[in-house]
Amino acid sequence: MTLTNTTVLISGASIAGPALAFWLARAGAKVTLVEKAPALRPGGQAVDFKGETHLTVLERMGVLERIREHQTGGTDLTIIDEKGREVAVWPGEFTGGDLEILRGDLARILVEQTEKSCEYVFGDSITSLTETPAGVHVSFERGAPRTFDLVIGADGIHSNVRRLAFGPEHEHVRHLGYYYALADLDLDVEPVMYNEPGRMISLGGSKAASFFVFASPELFYDRYDEEQQKELVRAAFAGCGWRVPEVLAALDRAGSVYLDSISQARVDSYAAGRVALIGDAAYGNTLGGFGTGLAVVAAYVLAGELATNADHRTAFRRYEELFRPYAKSAENGNAGPFMAPKTRPGRWLRNQLFRRRFLLTSMIKMGDRMASRIDLPDYTCLRWPASTTKSAPVVAAERGDTSSVITSATS
């Protein structure tokens, strides 16, 4: 069975969206991806894959070797005190998994793998979803309305599709008491990490060149206003010792800043009618350590079930039955207290873990086991393209311009 002539709209063109698009297009579907950002976002923090399951899916996609060519490799972080003295070493293998790559590089590889078989629309967003006997009628901020057979929300923990089809964000996302920020800072430093109670800054690491974590009740701010985000980071780290004042001064000159909460998403069901969720939109746990691998595996399972079952309702139900137990690996973690303990005793205990090799090795092995805790189906319908791959336009709609420009998504 194939998905020939089935039209699918995917919201989100970061990781889960292009990964799902790859498999759906291979099964014959006509796939459109819409992304609010005007273009692919370069850089970002490094993400990782661990265990046989993650690597098997990447190999079946044909991108494993390309990812290896761009892997960052886990870098050790020296944990220091306020005088710059070493107190412990956070080993790169602890967070780097089997394969680590910058999120922007991974997104580019996945988009390049799909841009000839799928339609990409950048700089636009869904404003309404109305299910009809003919499919899902979709309205957009900029583009003309269209109707699709299926709509998939792959648009992250703040999912627009989930809000429109499942209800407001506060019903599905729980704040875990911490925030994190990434900043493009012009600082020449060795990879180091500095803690004060409830606050952490790391510089020069492979996960992110400049990375902040801090404890905070829920904040309300514009996620697209970088100056406002800079001010929140400054306020959170005001009064810190070591070289933090210098870091905050460099924040003023930062090329880009991204601030978000460490939060957990949960929905009672992954699907509502002809609309389904994948990735962080359905089960995300920010900085939980499994998100990217889960998204790639979920894309394979969801596409395989849609290509195997004639009825989308059966496919969505099977996807959830297979995947929800696996997604539990991301449910209960909270990286905030580990990265930025609120007390000095908590920080001391965290550092002891890195001094005891057998404990560290046990935690790494446990993570690998959790990452492979699913019987990965072998969907024969996804082994080879169901139809000849044809070039499709990649559309970039400039913000503030109602006209569409046909261009490459990676230009």
How much is the pTM? 0.89
What are the beta bridge partners of residue 285? 264
For CA atoms 94, 99, 100, 104, the dihedral sign is: negative
Of 51-55, 87-91, 184-188, least confident by mean pLDDT is 184-188
Q: Are 221 and 55 in contact (CB under 8 A)?
A: no
Q: Would you tell me how many other CB atoms lie within 10 Å of the CB of residue 342?
A: 15
The per-residue pLDDT for range 239-284, each reduced to its tens digit, is: 999 999 999 999 988 878 899 999 999 999 999 999 999 999 999 8
Which residues, in sequence order, are CB contacts of 311 under 8 Å at separation 6+? none
- Residue labelled with tokens 């908590």: 346
What local confidence, expressed as pLDDT, does residue 328 receive?
82
Cβ contacts of 324-328, under 8 Å, gap ≥ 24: 324/270, 324/283, 325/373, 325/374, 326/294, 326/297, 326/373, 326/374, 327/282, 327/283, 327/294, 327/298
Confidence of residue 410 (pLDDT cuts 50, 70, 90): very low
Question: Is the pLDDT at 134 greater than 70, yes or no?
Answer: yes
Q: Are 193 and 200 in contact (CB under 8 A)?
A: yes
The per-residue pLDDT for range 312-322, each reduced to its tens digit, is: 999 999 999 99
Task: Tabulate helix, strand, coil % of the chain (nearest 5).
Answer: 35, 25, 40
For CA atoms 45, 50, 54, 56, the dihedral sign is: positive
Q: Are 273 and 146 in contact (CB under 8 A)?
A: no
Confidence of residue 285 (pLDDT cuts 50, 70, 90): confident
Summarize the confidence of residues 39-63 as an average pLDDT.
88
C-alpha distances in angstroms, 340 versus 107, 195, 202, 212? 29, 7, 11, 9
What local confidence, expressed as pLDDT, does residue 288 receive?
64
Amino acid at 302: L
Q: Would you tell me how many other CB atoms lie within 10 Å of the CB of residue 183?
A: 26
Chain-wide mean pLDDT for the chain?
87
Instruction: State the helix-helix crossing angle for 16-26 and 51-61, rounded to 10 degrees.
Output: 50
The per-residue pLDDT for range 8-37, each reduced to its tens digit, is: 999 999 999 999 999 999 999 999 999 999
Task: Report how far residue 49's alpha carbon sits from residue 367's, in angstroms, rounded to the nearest whole number.
Answer: 11
What are the beta bridge partners of residue 192? 78, 203
Interior angle at CA 210, CA 208 and CA 214, nearest 5 = 105
Amino acid at 242: W
Q: Which two tokens stand for residue 148?
A: 């699709």
3-state secondary structure of 345: helix
The per-residue pLDDT for range 161-201, each reduced to its tens digit, is: 999 999 999 999 999 999 999 988 878 788 999 999 999 99
